[in-house]
Structure 1
Amino acid sequence: MNNWRFKEIVVLSALSVVFGVVYLAFLPLGGVLVGFFGPIGYDFIFGIWFIVSIIAAYIIRKPGAAFLSETIAAMVEVLIGNAIGPMLIVVGMIQGIGAEAVFAATRWKNYALWVLMAAGMGSAVTSFIYGYFMSGYAALATEYVVAMFFIRLISGALIAGLLGKALSDSLAKTGVLTSFALGKEYRRKNAS
Structure 2
Amino acid sequence: MSNWRFKEIVVMAALAVVFGVVYLAFFPVGNILVGFFGPIGYDLIFGIWFIVSIIAAYIIRKPGAAFLSETIAAMVEVLLGSVVGPMLIIVGMIQGIGAEAAFAATRWKNYSLWVLMGAGVGAAITSFVYGYFISGFAALDSGYVLAMFIVRMVSGALIAGLLGKALSDGLARTGVLSNFALGKEYRKMKRSA
TM-score class, shorter: over 0.9
How far off is 1:33 after superposition? Answer: 0.2
1:92 aligns with 2:99: no
Report the secondary structure of 1:62's partner residue: coil
Matches within 5 A, 1:113-132: 113-132=113-132
Query: Cα distance, 1:86 vs. partner?
Result: 0.4
Give the corresponding residue for 1:68.
68
Structure 1 gap segments, 5+ residues each: none
How many Å separate the matches in 2 of 1:70 and 1:3?
Answer: 20
Q: What is the rounded CA distance, in whole Å, between the counterparts of 2:98 and 2:52 in structure 1? A: 13
TM-score normalized by the length of structure 2:
0.99
Q: Which residue of 2 aligns with 1:147?
A: 147
Q: What is the identity, as a one-letter code, of the residue corresponding to 1:101?
A: A
**Residue type of the partner of 2:146?**
V
- State the partner residue of 2:137: 137
SS at match of 1:48: helix
Report the Cα offset of residue 99 of structure 1.
Answer: 0.3
- Count, aligned residues: 192
**Structure 1 residues 146-165: aligned runs within 5 Å:** 146-165=146-165
Quote the Cα distance in structure 2 between the aligned partners of 1:126 and 1:61: 21
Match of 2:82 in 1: 82
| Distance (whole Å) between structure 1 residues aligned to residue 93 and residue 183 of structure 2 | 27
Query: TM-score, length-normalised on structure 1?
Result: 1.00
How many Å apart are 1:136 and its aligned residue?
Answer: 0.1
Q: Runs of 5+ in structure 2 lacking a partner?
A: none
| Structure 1 residue 84 displacement after superposition | 0.8
Match of 1:181 in 2: 181
What is the match of residue 9 of structure 2? Answer: 9
The amino acid across from 2:96 in the alignment is: G
- Give the partner amino acid of 1:127: S
The offset of 1:148, in angstroms, is 0.0
Structure 2 equivalent of residue 30 of structure 1: 30
Moved over 4 A (4+): none
- Describe the SS at the equivalent of 1:4: coil
1:60-97 C-alpha deviation (Å, 9 max, x unpaired): 00000000000000000000010010000000000000
Question: AA paired with 2:190?
Answer: N
Aligned residues: CA RMSD? 0.2
The equivalences for 1:42-57 within 5 A come to 42-57=42-57
The whole-number CA distance in structure 2 between the counterparts of 1:2 and 1:99 is 21
